Amino acid sequence: MRARLLPLTAASAFGLLALTGCVANTPADSARAALTVDSSTDACTVSAQDAPAGTLSFSITNSGDQVTEFYLLAEDGLRIVGEAENIGPGLTRDLVVQLAEGEYVTACKPGMTGDGIGKAGFTVTASDQVVAVDDDLQAQIETANVNYASYVRDQVAQLVTGTDTFAAAYVAGDFDTARGLYASTRSHWERVETVAESFGDLDPQLDLREADLEEGQDWTGWHAIEKDLWPADAEPGFAAYPAEERQRLAGLLVQDTATLNEKVQTLSFTLSQQTNGAIGLLDEVATGKVTGEEEFWSHTDLWDFQANVDGAAVLYAGVRDILVAKDAALADSLDAEFAALQTLLDAQRVGDGFTLYTDLSPEEIKALADQVNALGEPLNQLTSTLVL
Amino acid sequence: MSDGASGGLSRRGLLGLAGAGVAGLGLGVGGDRAVIAVAASATAPSPATDVYPFYQEHQAGILTPAQDRLHFAAFDVSAGTTRAGLIELLQDWTVAAAAMAAGRDIGDFGAVSGPYDAPPEDTGEALDLPASGLTITFGFGPSLFEDADGVDRFGIRARRPDELTELPHFPGDMLEPGRSGGDLCIQACADDPQVAVHAIRNLSRIAFGRAVIRWSQLGFGRTSSTSTSQATPRNLFGFKDGTSNIKAEEPGAADAHVWVGAGGGPAWLAGGSYLVARRIRMTIETWDRSILREQEAVFGRDKGEGAPLSGGTEFTAPDFAITGRGDLPLIGAAAHVRLAHPTRNAGIRMLRRGYNFVDGTDALGRLDAGLFFISFQSTPENFTAVQLNLARHDALNEYIRHVGSALFAVPPGAARGSYVGAALFA
């Protein structure tokens, strides 16, 4: 098992050091074979036709005048084992892959159309590096993709129901009820926030904070209502919204949430969208929630925090079996860091909610922030570990 | 001209135009550090020995090849300071700045040659150091012309250019009052940090009782080049940014984009410029764990070489039309290089002169780091147009936030014997 938690650069530097102390043709465990590929207008020249099993890096230079792609294919010349796409003329990009012993095919695709050119055999020879080959992988990925899509639909459906109830209370002037529903309803949004954010106009209409506005922009969505429900920190002279403004904001909130619900019905996900979604959710925590900026008026940031973490944990759980097969140590690390973060959050539970952000001590906030970083580092290895 | 340019000593008796004139001979007055240093290193010229003249048509520190270090300070003029007091301060600052830019101590006696029972005129930490390319650039904020209560403290309200108002709120701005605004500013740039700090320290000492520092910022690595002789440096995200910055060697570019033209504003500002300063905090920890694909997509450039993702090398013009897989552009719609590019901003260009900063860590243990953005442009509307475009769409916004902001009108350079901003008070 390679030293996974080390950044790649550190790992390869170690490899070089190790090499200097070895006979040149017996690479140390952590060494990786480095190959170059020249993708020109009419050729695809790989610097070697074979390499030992393990981690290989192909440094692909586009010497042609069109955008190119490089493919590493299985022996059948069809199944993609690794690829580097969108390489502009003159640019160099690295493809880092783990390859088991066997026969492969390399090819380039200048212009990004057709079957590709310069197809050539590439042999990966036996080494003491063990690279797992899992024929069930594709089926597992398919299952994870389908499961996540249904999770998103379920959360948005609950968001629709909760929003309708919340909006009705707000319009009716029942502020106590609305305040009680605010954070728990938003949790459904926050669990799938990175998906919801992918719909251009809906996210700003529903989730814009006051600081995000430009001058003269109409402020709608959750946070505009939040300020009206919790005006304690508002600027001097802030007046409660009149009934017709409440009606308008609540109507738009319900309407935009219904639109979101329609849009997620047909969504499907790829593996990288899931792993990057988990990363994105934790980034949301790191930049908005742990700083208390998201719920500027209600200070219910920890509800959002928990919901973002829930969403990331669901994404992780969906791909965990695949990860265990590929890199059990990373799975162990993620299990531990997720658990540690949850322990910190659980310590702030009050009833069915959480401590207000403004009631947290600086030490408690810092502990949460530190643990977000501790989880973030291994979590952000997921894409490169799982995705081809 | 008013009493300001008479060449008399200021009321403090600390500084005098006469002193500067004598010091120009390099004999016996203060310590002429530049001369000493040049002599000492005559065989090995280095940037540290660069000396930029202070008295010029345009103030130095704008088109000057960007030095490596910055100390920037915004000042508030103290209550009770009169118009005459403000003029006197500007005169004193001018004399001191000219001396320091020449590599000399300030004052008649400098750091160590004065009366034994008097505090030294110069604070002394730049003794033995060469001029280090020091430039000192002065600017006037909107509040100098009219304060928050609408008071015209110095009788110059009628001379305020229409464009010199607070910048608008941009989407995502999280500005801190203690890092924003200011009546006056001083940008000190040098290749030695101690020389830049020495400049601000002595100028703020001169100002005690008349103006006080509102906020200040140290910068340790230039993030742009203003000359074709300089390589494009990297920002703290590890990317080359500002590749297509205005360079001193570009004929006409500064006249078109940096300097206020003779008919482009009030006469006192002709040959000057507008300085925008923005303290842009980077969420370093989040950025550092983002995947390389994301990082390059955010900037629209390749991290290693700085080439646009459309291909070529660093200085190849980006091709925003070229597409890759799925017919999507290689440089995405929200990529920084696309949104900031002149071709996407009605041809607007500005001269960027920003610096990296790391001010320790914040309460959450995160690096308090980022870019102290400085730009010079012929009108602040150019900055506003580009920044609005960036604030709305830039993918980089996920990893940055603007926490400080200030705008200053930068008067033209002072003539020898006069002072910076003299035309404003004429």
Q: Does A276 touch chain B (CB under 8 A)?
A: yes
Nearest CA in chain B to A275: B291
| Nearest chain B Cα distance for residue A67, angstroms | 7
C-alpha distances in Å from residue A367, one per residue of A345, A358, B7, B285, B365: 10, 15, 60, 15, 10
Report chain B residues whose CB lies below 8 A from the CB of A291: 364
Residue B370: which of B241, B191, B192, B219 has the closest Cα?
B219
Instruction: Work out the percent of chain B whose per-residue pLDDT is above 70.
Output: 89
Instruction: Work out the percent of chain B whose per-residue pLDDT is above 90.
Output: 81
A30-60 pLDDT, tens digit each: 456 789 999 999 999 999 999 999 889 999 9
Residues 183-242 of A with CB under 8 A from B: 211-215, 217
A268-301 pLDDT, tens digit each: 998 888 998 999 999 999 988 999 999 999 999 9
Instruction: Answer yes or no: do B309 and A88 touch at CB < 8 A.
Output: yes
Average pLDDT, chain A: 88
Instruction: Answer yes or no: do A88 and B310 touch at CB < 8 A.
Output: yes
* Maximum pairwise Cα distance, chain A: 81
Q: How many residues does chain B have?
A: 426
Please report which residue ranges of B300-367 form alpha helices under DSSP H.
Answer: 336-340
Place of tokens 């300001």: B4
Q: Which of A60, A66, A91, A344 to probe the B interface (max B CBs under 10 A)?
A: A91
Cα(A79)–Cα(B25) distance, integer angstroms: 80
B38-63 pLDDT, tens digit each: 444 434 445 667 899 999 999 999 99
The confidence score (pLDDT) of residue B48 equals: 63
Cα(A201)–Cα(B270) distance, integer angstroms: 44
Instruction: Answer yes or no: do A214 and B174 touch at CB < 8 A.
Output: no
Q: Does A88 touch chain B (CB under 8 A)?
A: yes
Instruction: Answer whether residue B18 shows pLDDT above 50.
Output: no
Q: Which of A86, A87, A371 to probe the B interface (max B CBs under 10 A)?
A: A86
Domains of chain A: 32-125 (2.60.40.420), 137-386 (1.20.1420.20)
The answer to whether the CB of B70 falls within 8 A of the CB of B189 is yes
Q: B346, exposed or middle or buried, with CB in 10 Å at 0-12, 13-18, 19+?
A: exposed
Identify the DSSP state of A211.
Answer: G
The confidence score (pLDDT) of residue A138 equals: 79
pLDDT tier at A140 (50, 70, 90 boundaries)?
A: confident
Interval B329-344 mean pLDDT: 95
For residue B224, give the amino acid letter: S
The answer to whether the CB of A251 falls within 8 A of the CB of A163 is no
Which is it for strands A353-354 and B69-77: parallel, antiparallel or unpaired? unpaired
C-alpha distances in Å from residue B190, one per residue of A54, A101, A313: 50, 58, 50
Residue among A89, A214, A290 whose CB faces B364 most closely? A290
Report chain A residues whose CB lies below 8 A from the CB of B391: 214
The confidence score (pLDDT) of residue B1 equals: 35
pTM passes above 0.90? no
The confidence score (pLDDT) of residue B27 equals: 34
Q: What Rg value do the Cα atoms of chain B yield, rounded?
A: 22
**Token digits of residue A381:** 């290895």
Residue among A62, A91, A366 whose CB faces B363 most closely? A366
**Token digits of residue A277:** 């979604």
Q: Which of B176, B291, B330 to probe the A interface (max A CBs under 10 A)?
A: B291
Instruction: Answer yes or no: do B364 and A287 touch at CB < 8 A.
Output: no
The confidence score (pLDDT) of residue B41 equals: 41
Identify the DSSP state of B139.
Answer: E
Cα(A257)–Cα(A189) distance, integer angstroms: 10
pLDDT tier at A182 (50, 70, 90 boundaries)?
A: very high
Report chain B residues whose CB lies below 8 A from the CB of A88: 307-312, 322, 330
Residue among B290, B294, B363 whose CB faces A362 most closely? B363
The confidence score (pLDDT) of residue B33 equals: 56
Cα(A52)–Cα(A54) distance, integer angstroms: 6
Q: Does B45 touch chain A (CB under 8 A)?
A: no
B193-206 pLDDT, tens digit each: 999 999 999 999 99
Cα(B40)–Cα(B136) distance, integer angstroms: 25
Q: Does A86 touch chain B (CB under 8 A)?
A: yes
| Nearest chain B Cα distance for residue A321, angstroms | 22
- Report ipTM (2 d.p.): 0.81
Report chain B residues whose CB lies below 8 A from the CB of A69: 325
Distance of CA B180 to the CA centre of its chain: 14
Instruction: Answer yes or no: do A213 and B169 touch at CB < 8 A.
Output: yes
The answer to whether the CB of B294 falls within 8 A of the CB of B287 is no
Nearest CA in chain A to B322: A67
| Nearest chain A Cα distance for residue B295, angstroms | 13
The answer to whether the CB of A144 falls within 8 A of the CB of A70 is no
Interval B359-386 mean pLDDT: 96
Element housing A57 (H / E): strand A54-62
Q: List, as own/partner pairs, every contact residues B107-113 make where C-beta atoms lie below 8 angstroms and the sequence separation is at least 24, other chains included.
A: B107/B14, B107/B15, B107/B19, B107/B30, B108/B15, B108/B16, B108/B19, B108/B29, B108/B30, B109/B29, B109/B30, B110/B29, B110/B30, B110/B31, B111/B30, B111/B31, B112/B31, B113/B30, B113/B31
Please report which residue ranges of chain A form alpha helices under DSSP H.
Answer: 8-20, 137-171, 175-191, 193-196, 202-207, 222-229, 243-264, 271-284, 301-326, 328-346, 362-379, 382-386
